[in-house]
Amino acid sequence: MGDGYWVKIEARKVEPSEGRPHGIDYSLCLFSPDDDRLVCFDNAHPVSSGSGPARKRSGTNDHVHRGVQIRPYGYTDAEQLMEDFWCAVEETLRMRGVQP
Domains of the chain by residue range? 6-95
- pTM comes to 0.86
Tell me the CA end-to-end span of the chain in Å, nearest whole number. 5
What is residue 95's three-state secondary structure? helix
SS3 content of the chain, % helix, strand, coil (to 5): 20, 35, 45
Q: Pick the more confident residue, 50 or 20.
A: 20
49: pLDDT confidence band, cut at 50, 70 and 90?
A: low
Q: Is 89 exposed, middle or buried (0-12, 13-18, 19+ CB in 10 A)?
A: buried
52: pLDDT confidence band, cut at 50, 70 and 90?
A: low
Residue 34 pLDDT exceeds 90: yes
C-alpha span between 54 and 14 (Å, rounded): 32
- Average of per-residue pLDDT values in the chain: 90
